[in-house]
Amino acid sequence: MPTALPASVYAQRRARFLQQLGGVAAVIPAAPLVTHHADCEWPFRQNSDFWYLTGFDEPDAVALFLPHRQDSQFVLFVAAKEPTAEVWHGFRWGTEGAVAQFGADLAHPISELPQRLGEYLQGAEGIAFRVGKHPKVEPLVLQAWGQQLDRAPRSGKAALGLVAPCPLLHELRLRKEAEELELLREACRISAEAHELARQVARPGLSERQVQAVIEQHFMEQGARGTAYGSIVAGGDNACVLHYTANSARLNAGELLLIDAGCSLNDYYNGDITRTFPIDGRFSGEQRALYELVLAAQEAAVAAVGPGQTAEGVHGTAVRVLVEGLRQLGLLVGEVDGLIEQGAYRHLYMHRTGHWLGLDVHDVGAYRLGEHPVQLEPGMVLTVEPGLYVSDRLPVPEGQPAIDPRWKGIGIRIEDDVAVTDHGREVLTASALKSVAAMER
């Protein structure tokens, strides 16, 4: 099985993409190998746009989408089969595999791209190519474009435009097919299990990294390729550093442990879950008060996910619950509406409540189109992840109370992955528990 999704899914995506391109030809390059150090490379990970349209998991490839041609609308340039290279670096599909397994109408060795690109683009009404990201392919595209501009006056055709393929493609990627949702469910299931395991093993005296090891071992045991992103295993005040990934401290009794970790099933379908619990099994009064508040905000925000709603509305719901609660706890003073308007809570809650989830963990797709927030539709998937982070890293806004030391060093986030359905939502990560009772032991 060359791809994680049936070949028909990729074929349908290409058909939709070709239709939306109108008469414009698209050039979508694969990702290159990236050097880690010396002659070692990072494990290969395909360009998500290229993967979305092809399912082809090799570097040194370029996909052409040519709606202006009758017979060869999907052309792949790929690394040619070569025994020596395959002995060192592994199997390649080659041009025959590109046609037989990946549905290309035609395939050529990547070495022929410079000679052939101009000809393939001839007759298109424009070229869709993402400038600034593909330094090897970009000069070839610009050269082909230049040649077409040179020919335009004589051919009598209007000059070609160079446009970005991203808006079209990312709009398509925002809506997940049933088969994609199935893979996301599996990534979320494995990720949720790892969080349950982590809570069972975490105890004072262990290091954050030992807990990280339990989580990541479970990902791989369950068949996932690895982590979707650098796992955050943050005890106590470390949880107030949003992108903490050192994971090198000891776990202390009396502190909370925040874990933000998810597996990547096959490099392209990811879970993204955060849970926070007391390391010694019991919340302190302050920890419990803030945990209950974040949980209330998170549950209200999850309930605000549904068709016709917006990510902005989900965020607004979480912020309102948090601000009301922080006022009751004396961590904010003033009118709720004014506090929200002025952002007077941002020293305690400084990030948005979620992001699209898909092939990329922070997936592509617009949140607003001009003045209008994008409305949620069935098939869209987003995270819902409010939190509170009480430390003195950020200044307390003027007019707000200084933070009593008893609150400091408490960082809490609760994050679920939520798919929009026809009538509401499906919490893909529901099997990771989050009630106060479940967090204690």
Closest to 106 in 3D by CA, of 139, 146, 66: 66
- Toward Mg ion, which CB reaches closer, 60 or 260? 260
Question: Applying CB under 5 A, which part among 247-255, 266-274, 288-296, 345-353 lies near Mg ion?
Answer: 266-274
Q: What type of residue is 196?
A: E
Smallest CA-to-CA distance from 270 within 335, 200, 334, 191 is with 191
Does residue 260 touch Mg ion according to CB under 5 A? yes
Question: Which is closer to Mg ion, CB of 185 or CB of 355?
Answer: 355
Residue 134 or 425: the one with the smaller Cβ distance to Mg ion is 425
What minimum distance in Å lies between the beta carbon of 261 and Mg ion? 8
Give the Cα separation of 411 and 85 in Å (integer).
49
Comparing CB distances to Mg ion, the nearer of 127 and 418 is 418
- Which SS3 state, helix, strand or coil, does residue 310 take? strand
Q: Environment class of residue 87 by beta-carbon count within 10 Å: exposed (0-12), middle (13-18) or buried (19+)?
A: exposed
Residues with active-site annotation: 39, 243, 260, 272, 351, 355, 362, 385, 389, 413, 415
- The set of long-range contacts for 208-212, using a CB threshold of 8 Å and a minimum separation of 24, is 208/233, 208/234, 208/235, 208/238, 208/246, 208/247, 208/248, 208/249, 208/250, 208/251, 208/257, 209/233, 209/247, 209/248, 211/251, 211/257, 211/259, 212/247, 212/261
- Using CB under 5 A, which of the segments 90-98, 206-214, 306-314, 409-417 binds Mg ion? 409-417
Closest to Mg ion by CB, 62 vs 174, is: 174
Q: Which is nearer to Mg ion, 329 or 366 (CB)?
A: 366
Nearest approach, Cβ of residue 214 and Mg ion (Å): 18
* Packed helices 166-174 and 7-21: angle between N→C axes, nearest 10 degrees: 140
**Cα three-residue angle 243-425-295, rounded to 5 degrees:** 50
CB of 219 to Mg ion, least distance (A): 14
Tell me the number of residues near Mg ion by CB under 5 A: 4
Select the span of 54-62, 150-158, 268-276, 282-290 touching Mg ion (CB under 5 A). 268-276
Structure tokens at 433: 């528990």
| Residue 256, both tokens | 């909370």
Q: Which stretch binds Mg ion (CB under 5 A): 64-72, 85-93, 203-211, 413-421?
A: 413-421
Q: Say if residue 93 is exposed, middle or buried (CB neighbours under 10 Å; 0-12, 13-18, 19+).
A: buried
Nearer of residues 299 and 385 to Mg ion, judged by Cβ: 385
Find the shortest distance in angstroms from Cβ 416 to Mg ion: 10
**Residue 417, both tokens:** 């992955």
Residue 383 touches Mg ion, criterion: CB under 5 A = yes
C-alpha closest to that of 122 among 64, 197, 68:
68
- Nearest distance from residue 33's CB to Mg ion, in Å? 27
Collapsing DSSP to helix, strand or coil, 343 comes out as coil
Which one of the spans 19-27, 59-67, 86-94, 271-279 is the region binding Mg ion (CB under 5 A)? 271-279
Contact residue for Mg ion among 57, 60, 237, 272 (CB under 5 A): 272
Cβ 426 vs Cβ 186: under 8 Å: no
Q: Does the footprint of Mg ion cover residue 363 (CB under 5 A)?
A: no
User: Does residue 299 touch Mg ion according to CB under 5 A?
Assistant: no
Shortest Å, Cβ 232 to Mg ion = 7
CB of 382 to Mg ion, least distance (A): 9
Give the residue with the Cβ less far from Mg ion, 180 or 260.
260
Does residue 416 touch Mg ion according to CB under 5 A?
Answer: no
CA–centroid distance for 147 within its chain? 38
Measure the CA–CA gap between 360 and 432, rounded to whole angstroms: 21
Stretch that binds Mg ion, among 69-77, 89-97, 269-277, 404-412 (CB under 5 A): 269-277
Q: How far is the CB of 274 from Mg ion (least distance, A)?
A: 5
Residue 263 φ then ψ, to 5°: -90, 160
Residues interacting with Mg ion, by CB under 5 A?
260, 272, 383, 415
